[in-house]
Structure 1
Amino acid sequence: MTTLETDSDTRTSWMVCPFCAAMIYAKRYDRGGRVCPDCDGHGALTADQRIDSLIDSGSAQPIEPAETLRDPLGFSDSRSYLERRGEAQRRTGMDDAIRCVRASIGGAPVVLAVMDFRFLGGSLGSAVGEAVTTAAEVALSARVPLVLVTASGGARMQEGILALMQMAKTSQALRDLDDAGVLTISVITDPTYGGVAASYATSTDIIIAEPGARLGFAGPRVIQQTIGETLPAGFQTAEFLLEHGVVDMICHRSALRDRLARLLALAADSSRRVDFVESVPPVRRDPATLPTRDAWQSVRAARELGRPTTLDYLSSAFDEFIELHGDRLSADCPAMITALARLAGAPVLVIGTQKGHTAGELARRNYGMPTPSGYRKSARALRLAAKLGLPVITLVDTAGAYPGITAEEQGQAVAIAESLKLLAGLPVPIVSVITGEGGSGGALALALADRVLVFENAVYSVISPEGCASILWKDASAAPRAAAALRVDSTALLELGVADAVVPEPHGGAHRDPAAAAAQLRRALRHSLAELGPLPVTDLLDRRHYRFRAFGLPTTNHQEK
């Protein structure tokens, strides 16, 4: 970064942006959080600058980790390690490449560990490993979330194998937080590589990346030399990683404090439960009170493009939501939505399939048919709900899991099977709502629940009517006859005991009045969660077990409604 000064009278300084080479007024750059006003490039912050930008003023309490070996190998290249380290200390005013504090963000308590790339490239040595581990232990003792802000070139070579051991040491500390149900968040800044990337930076519950931040195990130069290929544009950047399922979200520096405050508030309120039960249930539980439906008309209504989607309901039926992305393996399936949200003030986790309202959106969302990465993303969200003790709400509107070559190559059947088994033993209340189409195992993978609600015009079936007609009638035009035979409509589903209740829709269907449909969904969810919330985990799991254990036996009363 180049800084130019004018005459000494005005002392007006200018600098060259390290990203776009534009001339920037330095004071404006600093006031903007060191983000270029021309290209939006996010420049480096010191650990102290980062902490000041995130925490509530005056809330910082320093955390002092134990002393570590200063030069365990007696290492020297052209200069001794002690000399290099001493110079870094004088230049940065830090003992090592990290600063740890207890503080609050938006009033919510937090432990913050922030790396500083200026100190020997933010390399992971014994002091950094001890600081991260100590911060995790403080978070564990206080039962408050841990936020890690990373910036590193990798493990510190001058400390040899002991630097490598810090990866194991810090991973062990984060596992202890997992076992205790303490939320962990990492904020990836540019760059984050090597041992830091392959340990605590990517083993947190939620990974937030700044725009353009690079993250990877091996650096691009090493990769190019190894494989002898040109790397794709944007390789290892935050945007590349979001597309490939590695990070949950990209957050601009100007919005980061608010995003963290909202996440920390959700964690702080995790024990809060929905406690409102209406005297007259907002759902229909008695099949005798419902009309006999034309199954094919229900199929057509369920497929209306105007029906609200999961994202529509998240925006209108819930107080707020923060979407989470990625399966942490290879992709972020756009047909599956996962989000932390609030319902009537209480934190919940929402998972839902996502179609769309236009041809373009339908194509981009894979017509609401999740791939294996979608089910693995939802499984990751379910495990987070279990860790934090959050009720789960699933919104199902899909023709089924995606039936393609790549899906089979990536283990579609295994992904669905794992989701079913995970839901069967999840130690939190689960409410599933069939909002449109409930297609086969792709729908059931989100609907093994304590309460299964079905919208009035929704359908739920082992196969599409067209598929059934083609196989059994040898004629796709027999789909209406197949729909009636399969008994896919909401009244039939309630009679069969597959649905616990039917959610009424506005006159003409949910697509006619999405706002009214969202209000009805909100009431139904609040009522169901209020009923399930007081149940001990053992009772909850027993009831869920017997609910599904009874299917196919000569009874329709699978549990106390």
Structure 2
Amino acid sequence: MWLPTLEREQRSVTLAESDWLVCGGCGILLYGKRFVRLGMVCPDCGRHTRLTSSRRLELLLDAGSAIPIERVAAAEDPLSFADLLPYTERLAGARQRTGLDDAVQVVRGTVRGRPVVVAAMDFRFMGGSLGSAAGQAITTAAEMALADRVPLLLITASGGARMQEGALALMQMAKTANAMAALDEAGLLTITLVTDPTFGGVAASFATLADVIIAEPGARMGFAGPRVIEQTIRQRLPTGFQTAEFLLDHGLVDDVRGRAELPQVLGMLLGATEVPGEQWGELTADPVVRQPDGIPARPVAEIIGKARELTRPTMLDHTATWFDGFTELHGDRAGADCPAIVGGLAVLDGLPVMAIGHQKGHTTDELVRRDFGMPSPAGYRKVARLLRLAGKLGLPVITLVDTPGAHPGLDAERHGQSIAIAECLRVLGGLPVPVVSVITGEGGSGGALALAVADRVLICENAIYSVISPEGCAAILWREAGAVPDAAAALRLEARSLLELGIVDAVVPEQAPIRDAVICALRELRQVDGPSLVSARRTRFRRFGVRHDQ
């Protein structure tokens, strides 16, 4: 008996031809109705079969919430183009096969009760190519999101610009990019869901301009398609090249999520702009100590040892224990994702925030994988990207600092470590939202300061913060390893001394909840407008090193 195979190019009609299907990935037998219930994802190999735009909207949006948006009609066949067939005949055939006017559907709807405007591309319609009608649809979606003051969700599936419309198709890239820029200026969240495939003019315009880019497993995205690349460079491409997993490893997308997870993930992202009232956090007691004599004096060597203990909670430990939810965002969007920096959108006692921190580890394997919490330039570029997103959306920023310092080495220098750190300092200094930093373990040099230019700087009782490690200071100035205790004492790097110097605002006692200390700091800072926050923050750092009698 013949059974249809679900190849990448399969059309939705295939499912109507048989109750049983063969997965185009692993070859197992699939029961058609169950396969549809699973969102057309193979339960054995996880292969995501292409969806129509209508089915995509049905799976993502709350039932019954989708309302189509009308758009201004685009010019048809502006070049009177003909290849093997006249363009008009190709359009008519695509409309008959798909039931769509063109390659993009635009609707208003909700995801987990949160409003959104969605532009969903359909690869069945002339390969999802970007022509005048598709560009008009994307631009209309952005304009409707702007008018409604709601987030925009783009679902991409395209082979590139539509050749039959010549340079007019090329202009759609600039047109849609401008529409995305208007949403940036208005502070509205934009999300792209990359599905297979997303190439050419779509990838090089609106698809990659979104604040958050999520890709389905196996989805491919790039400027040039694999055949074009291979023909140009006359080499075989590596396995997995341009897939979602490749893009994630190279910092080009924020995450890869399976189809079943997407409504939850999108709901979390869309909730990033839901702001609680002024009474937020008023029931939380502040656990911090603000006077140096409230901190017991202890040997510096003991404090340094505790600051470096592998059992100290990491950034991921904190996100798991005192945030209501956390969606990690990956990558610097320039070719890398640094494992020593973890950041993303979080919810703190009902308040959406941007949480960013250094990530070490508890085991040797994890320490090695996370580069011992020492960020590369890509890590600091990721930090700067997330900070800008927080500024755009008006989200308070929480940074958790625990690093021996920025990663030293040839690659770090080659890729601009100094420049990346400097950019973080500049972005934080001018960020018009509340910023709270907590030194939770080691605060090593500029690698730590890059996350600590804040309105409130807190430090855990057993944490340290210094221009250099005591070992480095002893080696350079004392020129002997035995001078480490003397260097540590001279640097005054422990919490009590830092509070006396005014470097930190308060100390979180070792057994006290850091979460509560952060809530109380943000509770105060949320009452201050953006320009005043920036002015006060710059004034705070301006006074360091100035004689107090002047």
For 2:19 and 2:394, locate their aligned partners in 1 and report how far apart those are by CA, in whole Å.
52
For 2:127 and 2:304, locate their aligned partners in 1 and report how far apart those are by CA, in whole Å.
60
- The equivalent of 2:358 in structure 1 is 353
- The equivalent of 2:211 in structure 1 is 205
> Residues 219-298 of structure 1: matches in 2 within 5 Å?
219-267=225-273, 269-270=274-275, 275-277=280-282, 281-298=286-303
For 1:200 and 1:477, locate their aligned partners in 2 and report how far apart those are by CA, in whole Å.
58
AA aligned to 1:210 is: E
Q: CA, structure 1 residues 32+541, in 2 after alignment: closer, same or farther (shift >3 Å)?
A: same
Match of 2:526 among 530, 533, 537: 533
**CA deviations over 1:236-293 (Å, ceiling 9, x no partner):** 00000000000001110011111111111222x1465673246963100011222223
AA aligned to 2:22 is: V
AA aligned to 1:430 is: V
Secondary structure (helix, strand or coil) at the match of 2:310 reads coil
Match of 1:116 among 105, 108, 122: 122
Q: Which moved more, 1:471-480 or 1:496-505?
A: 471-480
Secondary structure (helix, strand or coil) at the match of 1:39 reads coil
For 2:495 and 2:242, locate their aligned partners in 1 and report how far apart those are by CA, in whole Å.
47
Find out whether 1:150 has 2:151 as its counterpart.
no
AA aligned to 1:399 is: P
Match of 2:458 among 435, 443, 453: 453
For 1:272 and 1:407, locate their aligned partners in 2 and report how far apart those are by CA, in whole Å.
43
2:103–2:123: 8 Å Cα contact kept in structure 1? yes
**CA deviations over 1:393-430 (Å, ceiling 9, x no partner):** 00000000000100000000000000000000000000
Q: CA, structure 1 residues 24+464, in 2 after alignment: closer, same or farther (shift >3 Å)?
A: same
Q: How many residues align?
A: 539
Find out whether 1:380 has 2:373 as its counterpart.
no
For 2:421 and 2:299, locate their aligned partners in 1 and report how far apart those are by CA, in whole Å.
31
Secondary structure (helix, strand or coil) at the match of 1:432 reads strand
Q: CA, structure 1 residues 273+337, in 2 after alignment: closer, same or farther (shift >3 Å)?
A: farther
1:271–1:389: 8 Å Cα contact kept in structure 2? no
1:335–1:354: 8 Å Cα contact kept in structure 2? yes
For 1:479 and 1:277, locate their aligned partners in 2 and report how far apart those are by CA, in whole Å.
44
- The equivalent of 1:165 in structure 2 is 171
Find out whether 1:64 has 2:70 as its counterpart.
yes
AA aligned to 1:363 is: V
For 2:293 and 2:267, locate their aligned partners in 1 and report how far apart those are by CA, in whole Å.
48
% identical aligned pairs:
59
For 2:102 and 2:262, locate their aligned partners in 1 and report how far apart those are by CA, in whole Å.
25
Find out whether 1:3 has 2:4 as its counterpart.
yes
What is the CA distance between 1:165 and its match in structure 2?
Answer: 0.4
Find out whether 1:429 has 2:434 as its counterpart.
yes
Q: Which moved more, 1:460-469 or 1:27-36?
A: 27-36
Secondary structure (helix, strand or coil) at the match of 2:217 reads coil
For 1:422 and 1:500, locate their aligned partners in 2 and report how far apart those are by CA, in whole Å.
21
What is the CA distance between 1:481 and its match in structure 2?
Answer: 1.2
Aligned-pair RMSD on alpha carbons? 1.7
Find out whether 1:318 has 2:319 as its counterpart.
no
1:274–1:533: 8 Å Cα contact kept in structure 2? no
What is the CA distance between 1:11 and its match in structure 2?
Answer: 8.9
AA aligned to 2:520 is: H
For 1:78 and 1:32, locate their aligned partners in 2 and report how far apart those are by CA, in whole Å.
39
Find out whether 1:27 has 2:20 as its counterpart.
no
Q: Which moved more, 1:308-317 or 1:27-36?
A: 27-36
AA aligned to 1:16 is: V
Secondary structure (helix, strand or coil) at the match of 2:433 reads coil
For 1:68 and 1:123, locate their aligned partners in 2 and report how far apart those are by CA, in whole Å.
14
1:188–1:210: 8 Å Cα contact kept in structure 2? yes
**CA deviations over 1:105-150 (Å, ceiling 9, x no partner):** 1111100110000000000000000000000000000000000000
What is the CA distance between 1:12 and its match in structure 2?
Answer: 5.8
Match of 2:416 among 411, 417, 431: 411
**CA deviations over 1:180-229 (Å, ceiling 9, x no partner):** 01100000000000000111111000000000000000011111111122
Match of 2:180 among 174, 180, 184: 174
What is the CA distance between 1:22 and its match in structure 2?
Answer: 2.5
For 1:124 and 1:55, locate their aligned partners in 2 and report how far apart those are by CA, in whole Å.
24
In structure 2, list runs of 5 or more residues that go unmatched: 6-15
AA aligned to 1:155 is: A
**CA deviations over 1:500-544 (Å, ceiling 9, x no partner):** 0000012xxxxxxxxxx5xx1011001100111101222211211
For 1:298 and 1:274, locate their aligned partners in 2 and report how far apart those are by CA, in whole Å.
37
Match of 2:313 among 297, 300, 308: 308
In structure 1, list runs of 5 or more residues that go unmatched: 5-9, 507-516
Find out whether 1:136 has 2:142 as its counterpart.
yes
For 2:201 and 2:161, locate their aligned partners in 1 and report how far apart those are by CA, in whole Å.
5
AA aligned to 1:521 is: I
1:274–1:526: 8 Å Cα contact kept in structure 2? no
Find out whether 1:479 has 2:505 as its counterpart.
no
- The equivalent of 1:85 in structure 2 is 91
For 1:262 and 1:289, locate their aligned partners in 2 and report how far apart those are by CA, in whole Å.
40
For 1:279 and 1:319, locate their aligned partners in 2 and report how far apart those are by CA, in whole Å.
16
For 1:13 and 1:410, locate their aligned partners in 2 and report how far apart those are by CA, in whole Å.
55
What is the CA distance between 1:315 and its match in structure 2?
Answer: 0.5
Match of 1:185 among 186, 191, 196: 191
For 2:435 and 2:88, locate their aligned partners in 1 and report how far apart those are by CA, in whole Å.
56
AA aligned to 2:498 is: L
Secondary structure (helix, strand or coil) at the match of 1:201 reads helix
1:47–1:99: 8 Å Cα contact kept in structure 2? yes
What is the CA distance between 1:327 and its match in structure 2?
Answer: 0.3
AA aligned to 2:449 is: L
